[in-house]
Structure 1
Amino acid sequence: MGSGVLLAALSFLAVIGPLIFLHELGHYAAGRAFGVHAETFSIGFGREVFGWSDRRGTRWKVGWMPMGGYVKFAGDMNPASQPTDEWLSLPPEERARTFQAKPVWQRFIIVAAGPIANFLVAIAIVAGLLLSYGELRTPPVIEALTEVSVARQAGLQPGDRFTRIAGRSVDTFGDVVEMVRLRPGEALSVDYERAGQARHTIVTPATIEEVDRFGNRYRMGAIGVMSAPQVVVPVSVVNVLPRATAQTFSMLRSMVDTIVQIITGRRSVQELGGPLKIAQISGQQASLGLVNVIMLMAMISINLGFINLLPIPMLDGGHLIFYVFEAIRRRPLPAIAQEWAFRSGLLVLLGFMLFVTFNDLGSFGLWQRLAGLIG
């Protein structure tokens, strides 16, 4: 038990630490490109554990609570990024190096650079894996049907080739599996070809519950079709970036689909996980080998990029929304409006963190054990 918790903790730090660093490095690099002075570059929050100052006057440090990070630019003096009297009193040449002195389009790029860095990191990871191991591909053709098959009931037969599911084109059998497994019980529009002729049907995936080797339970959709054996196709240097980008945004699309399904009630909110769940999964993947950990890093990096782009004040996406309004209005929103928005955003984030932590503890069986003790 103790060694498992230690492995999970160390794996979590090994996975999340570099991703946070690279996210903040995106902000830092964009800011530096536009001549903005960075006062602090911190990985983690709270009291400084160790750090150093570079020749540009930036303090690089590590905080004792490794649950995030930030870059503090000169002139970025409050949550709403509103300049203060202190900023207004700066000499013109010093003020020119501050965040608030930059035009809105540059501030937009600086803020967007963090999530963009996360997506680029994921693409680089996937590209490295594709070059090292090739790409598993299977044509989207039905090899056989299971004995109990909703696809058979919908009129599908062996030899049929899927072309579109739920309005999205499919190129491999993996695309079919991805589309189906996230939509248990949801009627899907299916376009396919049989003997060269285009056909159409509606298939409603059955709901199955899968349990992985670690005891984690997942609700999945299944239609009862089997594919031909997968083949490993080498990926050339010329094609690796397009393939890696396509796979990365395929994973992003799956994440978005899952969130939409949770919001609309088609999936349980119990499936949302937080830092504790990520730490548990990190430890599990670490026990399976380095490749699994690297792939987990790619998925978490995509997740970080996506979450930070959500239009919630306190997140990068919230700042970007304000910059869009500023560009349209040709002046910032009133400071009081931004302050209240960021306070509300902070409450939303704190509430969300409490909720997912509650979910995480429930997935570990804590509430059941407590109920047993009380009963």
Structure 2
Amino acid sequence: MIENPGILFSVLAFLCAIGPLVFIHEMGHYTAGRFFGIKADAFSIGFGREIAGWTDRLGTRWKIGWLPLGGYVKFAGDMNPAGVPDAAWLALPAAERERTFQAKPLWQRAIVVAAGPFVNLALAVLILAGFAYAYGVDRTPPVIDQVAAGTPAAAAGLAPGDRIVAIDGVAMATFSDLAKFALIRPGQAVAVTVQRDDRRQAMPLTIGTVRQRDRFGNEYRIGRLGIAGGKPVYAPVSLIEAPLAGVRATAEIVSGTVETLGQIISGRRSIDELGGPIRIAKVSGEQMSLGWPAFVWLLALLSINLGFINLLPVPLLDGGHLLFYAVEAVRRRPLEPQAQEWAFRGGLAAVLLLMLVVTFNDLGAVGVWQRLAGLIG
């Protein structure tokens, strides 16, 4: 175990995490496109100037760009950002035009676009299914064993032996469900439904806020109830049951991501918690230093986030394309090219602004602003 991963180690871990996930994402697009007979002009991992590449017998240029922060598949006929037919596309020979992305039916184009995020989510399901099969799934009952003094649970009147049935109407099947619910909701007022002896009762409770620092110096603002459960219970999972366990775990993570994003948008959680490539590199190095299980678990989380973010209905992302296809399906005709162009410009501006915000946050997370303040002071 590496105690303090350095910059080079973190960069290597970042490339080992992002590179394969981007490749798998773009391979989803590529494979679906090839299945429907669409010619791919280029398949790139990374942006910018090509540093290595080759052209296969089908005419696809496989290459690596110098900026390893994403990738793309350029299908034949992609002549503008909105991907709509134009004069240059109409000028193509009929046989060549038939192999372009724009020539395909709406449902095929939608599948090609959705295939990238889908394979990212499928990869996460596969990884989490493997963990479930290897380690089992948590079945520790949501029964309180201890209540810490001076905590929200004590103030609410919770006691050892209470079984927490639900929080704010959300059923709690295991003790870890309690921890996961509270974790992302610090300071939130909730109603806890408790089974005590033969009766149920609802108790108001405000989830506590704890600032926690890990061994790498990262500080987190998390929610805590102030209770402890009994001896952990892990149930073995068969090879047939493992995929379902992976789907459930993936759905829980997506639900938590949606909740956290909603908290940021509503102002209940600071925008400072948004991170970008620098923070991902830092976390990648930290998790790799803890061993392969921790790093593979991080891969699952990053794969889920990559799939989820790309499905957001933001022009420029896969979800934006799917939104336009949905509009096209309802209107029976696509949006006007000019409207799509302006939408994609707005999407690009939003993505660039977000990148500026997360980069500012990332530099703060690695201590750049603190060091600059120290030099100025």
Q: Which of these residues, 11, 14, 26, is aligned with residue 12 of structure 1?
A: 14
Residue of structure 1 in register with 2:158 after alignment: 156
Residue of structure 1 in register with 2:325 after alignment: 323
Distance (whole Å) between structure 1 residues aligned to residue 374 and residue 215 of structure 2: 26
Residue of structure 2 in register with 1:232 after alignment: 234
1:42 aligns with 2:44: yes
TM-score, length of structure 2 as denominator length: 0.96
Q: Which of these residues, 233, 255, 258, is aligned with residue 256 of structure 1?
A: 258
Residue of structure 1 in register with 2:78 after alignment: 76
Distance (whole Å) between structure 1 residues aligned to residue 350 and residue 215 of structure 2: 34
Q: Which of these residues, 270, 273, 295, is aligned with residue 272 of structure 2?
A: 270
Kept after mapping to 1: 8 A contact 2:129/2:242: yes
Per-residue deviation at 1:196?
4.0
Per-residue deviation at 1:2?
10
Distance (whole Å) between structure 1 residues aligned to residue 203 and residue 31 of structure 2: 50
Distance (whole Å) between structure 1 residues aligned to residue 80 and residue 148 of structure 2: 60
Per-residue deviation at 1:162?
1.8
Distance (whole Å) between structure 1 residues aligned to residue 129 and residue 198 of structure 2: 34
In structure 1, give the amino acid aligned to 2:243. Answer: L
Distance (whole Å) between structure 2 residues aligned to residue 148 and residue 327 of structure 1: 57
Distance (whole Å) between structure 1 residues aligned to residue 76 and residue 193 of structure 2: 55
TM-score, length of structure 1 as denominator length: 0.97
Distance (whole Å) between structure 2 residues aligned to residue 87 and residue 263 of structure 1: 40
In structure 2, give the amino acid aligned to 1:338. Answer: Q
**Runs ≥4 in structure 1, deviation > 6 angstroms?**
none
SS in 1 for 2:52: strand
1:1-375 superposed matches below 5 A:
4-375=6-377
Does 156-165 or 288-297 show the bigger shift? Answer: 156-165
Per-residue deviation at 1:311?
1.2
Does 295-304 or 129-138 show the bigger shift? Answer: 129-138
Distance (whole Å) between structure 2 residues aligned to residue 76 and residue 206 of structure 1: 52
Kept after mapping to 1: 8 A contact 2:276/2:362: yes
In structure 2, give the amino acid aligned to 1:142. Answer: I
Does 23-32 or 90-99 show the bigger shift? Answer: 90-99
Per-residue deviation at 1:73?
0.8
* Percent identity for Structure 1 against Structure 2: 55
Distance (whole Å) between structure 2 residues aligned to residue 189 and residue 21 of structure 1: 44
Per-residue deviation at 1:136?
3.4
Give RMSD over aligned pairs. 1.5
Deviations 1:242-289 (A, max 9, x none): 111101111111111111111111111111111000000000011100
SS in 2 for 1:72: strand
Deviations 1:24-68 (A, max 9, x none): 111111112222111111111111121222222211111111110
Matched residues, number: 375
Unaligned runs of 5+ in 2: none
Per-residue deviation at 1:133?
2.4
SS in 2 for 1:151: helix
Kept after mapping to 1: 8 A contact 2:55/2:61: yes
- After superposition, the Cα gap between the structure-2 partners of 1:352 and 1:103, relative to the gap in structure 1 and judged at 3 Å, is same
Kept after mapping to 1: 8 A contact 2:5/2:285: no
In structure 2, give the amino acid aligned to 1:273. Answer: G
Deviations 1:13-34 (A, max 9, x none): 0001000000111111111222
Unaligned runs of 5+ in 1: none
Per-residue deviation at 1:233?
2.1
In structure 1, give the amino acid aligned to 2:206. Answer: T
Per-residue deviation at 1:358?
0.5
Distance (whole Å) between structure 1 residues aligned to residue 164 and residue 193 of structure 2: 6
Kept after mapping to 1: 8 A contact 2:4/2:216: no
In structure 2, give the amino acid aligned to 1:242. Answer: L
In structure 2, give the amino acid aligned to 1:191. Answer: T
In structure 1, give the amino acid aligned to 2:228. Answer: M
Kept after mapping to 1: 8 A contact 2:138/2:174: no
Per-residue deviation at 1:3?
6.5
SS in 1 for 2:72: strand
Per-residue deviation at 1:134?
2.2
Per-residue deviation at 1:192?
2.6
Does 332-341 or 163-172 show the bigger shift? Answer: 163-172
Deviations 1:129-171 (A, max 9, x none): 2222222331111111112221232232212212222222221
